[in-house]
Amino acid sequence: MDNHKGVLVCGEIADGKLAPVTIELIGLGRKLADELGEQSSVLLMGSKAGGLAQEAIAYGADNVFVTDDSLLDQYNSDAYTQIVAGVCQKALPSIMLLGHTDIGMDLAPRLNARVGGGLAMDCIALAIDPATKLLASTRPVFGGNAHATMVSKSARPQMATIRPKTVPPAARDASRQGQVILVDGKVDPAAIKVKVVERIKESVEGVKLEDAEVVVSGGRGIGGAQNFALLGDLASVLGGAVGASRPACDEGWVPARLQVGQSGKVVSPKLYIAVAVSGAMAHIAGCLGSKVIVAINKDKDANIFSVAQFGVVGDYKQILPALTAKLKELKSA
């Protein structure tokens, strides 16, 4: 008999607050749990977890599992796997959700190996099949050129990592009531094989690429580092961030941290403007979750136009200054 029920979200805490992706997953978990007629829970770890439990309830959780241990303030593969696997084996969720973040990408496979179940990674959509009540997880395949829907018919829990900004954040309701469950389990320091000795925070001017609602990316066709200033001007007017294709990063025109693509960062902004980007599948895989893609390229046959909702064929050196000037004019009006 299958005793697995409900949805469990593995939460992340960033700068003392619920990470944006966790708020998104709480909303998604609430939706899935309601469709199943079951409860939705969240697991929070670290010394700040207890203080954020009520916040998770306000966003839609019925139950919040809390592990208050300072050893969990920084992500550690061994420690997190131990704690999350323990909670999973006790709570027996039917569905488990993690963000497709650095933490989720490392933790999910380890967790799946520890507790079993079926795992789908880098998902862009989740739904409950009304006939079977199974979780249908949709993810990009073949470099983003197609989508595949995966179903775990018998293995439990049904696990999935979800791209940030794929689903809207949960609505907050401070009047919601829920249960806070303290997890009786401390991490054994001796069991931790890898320790963080220093954390250097990346210095970013303006909006972080992965958090931006508007991304202006440049490709090899930009022609040089100096020309990225035009992209920066447009991004600044739109309150967005600058990204780049791998060739532009490999040329040394911009830092590698700005790379969008399969081997870089996956972004899901409201607006993605691809400037002089040819549209290699590896790059498209990193931006396909964008709500709207606008392509600007002088090559009318560039592959990027195949995934763009809007396209402009022309010289970006003429288009970007005119577009930036018009936007500034509209904003000042």
Closest CA to 298 of 271, 276, 326, 269: 276
* pLDDT value at residue 92: 94
- From 191, 217, 233, the end of a domain falls on 191
* Other beta carbons less than 10 A from residue 273's beta carbon: 29
* pLDDT value at residue 192: 75
- What's the Rg (C-alpha) of the chain? 22
Residue 77 Rama label (left phi>0; alpha psi -120 to 50; beta): alpha
Query: What gap in Å lies between CA 241 and CA 305, rounded to an integer?
Result: 21
E strand residue ranges, 84-133: 95-99, 118-123, 125-128
- In the chain, which residues have pLDDT < 70? 1, 143-145, 185, 202-204
pTM exceeds cut of 0.75: yes
In this structure, the answer to whether residues 27 and 176 fall within a common structural domain is yes
Query: What gap in Å lies between CA 238 and CA 241, rounded to an integer?
Result: 9
* pLDDT value at residue 307: 92
E strand residue ranges, 207-270: 214-218, 241-244
* pLDDT value at residue 143: 66
Residue 10's beta-bridge partner residues?
43
Token pair, residue 244, equals 């780049």
* pLDDT value at residue 204: 66
In this structure, the answer to whether residues 110 and 23 fall within a common structural domain is yes
Give the domain range for residue 22: 7-191
Token pair, residue 309, equals 């909702």
In this structure, the answer to whether residues 88 and 131 fall within a common structural domain is yes
Query: What gap in Å lies between CA 285 and CA 302, rounded to an integer?
Result: 16
* pLDDT value at residue 1: 44
CATH of the domain at 150: 3.40.50.620
Number of domains in the chain: 2
In this structure, the answer to whether residues 166 and 234 fall within a common structural domain is no
Token pair, residue 301, equals 């046959």
Query: What gap in Å lies between CA 21 and CA 16, rounded to an integer?
Result: 14
SS3 state of residue 34: helix
